[in-house]
Structure 1
Amino acid sequence: MAKRNQGGKEFGALKCAQEERLNRINEEFLSDTQYEEEEDLSSKLELFKTKFMEFDLDVSGDLDIMGLKRMLEKLGAAKTHLELKRILSQVSAGETISYRDFLHMMLGKKNSILKLILMFEGMGKDKEPVVTGRPRHRSFADLP
């Protein structure tokens, strides 16, 4: 039990360290004159940080193809492996998306597939709850 608890503490410490790193990057963007005309930049950066951390499950500071896949699936925009690779190539030069690359994409003028999906699929918006359970019984008389 103690070993299991130790692992949770280590992960918590990693998440705190990750949040501090992302906060420092947010501060850089807040002080960058390139983005000074951006409306409500501080709250946008906070939202982007939260979403990025949600899908950076290995706390590496980068979104790999699986993190990107989970993000898009959660937003209801599942993509094939080839589509994910194309999205990665639009946003980053490597196999992962760093937080800086993510912010440049979201705040930049150039549109990428990922930016469009995140903007129009409701990043940060609460989705309507999915109705689960058995459908109610219907008869032919209920049909229009």
Structure 2
Amino acid sequence: MNFYYSHNDGLTIFNSIRDRKDVRKAVGINYRVLPKTEYNQNSVDSFGKLSIKCWYDKKNRLTEVELHDLDAMFYLFNKQVLGISYKELTAILNENNICVVKDEEGLGVNILKDTIRFYIPEIEEERDFAKVESIWLKIPKLLDCENNC
């Protein structure tokens, strides 16, 4: 499944969509519900072969998404970046004047003020050749939801 970055919606597939039932309809593939844990405000939807996971707040509004390098493809600046090497990723980000910040745990990098995180668990050992295994995105709130949702 192909996903494209959107500054306003996190992913273009969620154009003005934040409600859980609308998210499920937009993704349009089988999902299962993972139970709420001490780290989540709500249960999590896992779609397909773990290609996408969606987190929700207490009111069932989408807050975060994680894409995995199984069935998902993620396009940033019109380039597919999920599953590519760290060297290829930094070239794309440098080309677009995006500042890269290594995360504190040494498991990847963050961009755009921590709204996108690239999980690259082998970055310390394999450096440039380490693979982007998953991508986490913070989904922006909709302006009309700020006070009413």
Task: State the TM-score, normalizing by the size of structure 1.
Answer: 0.30
Query: Radius of gyration: which is bigger?
Result: 1
**Higher share of residues assigned helix:** 1
Task: State the TM-score, normalizing by the size of structure 2.
Answer: 0.30
> Larger RCO: Structure 1 or Structure 2 (Cα < 8 Å, ≥ 6 residues apart)?
2
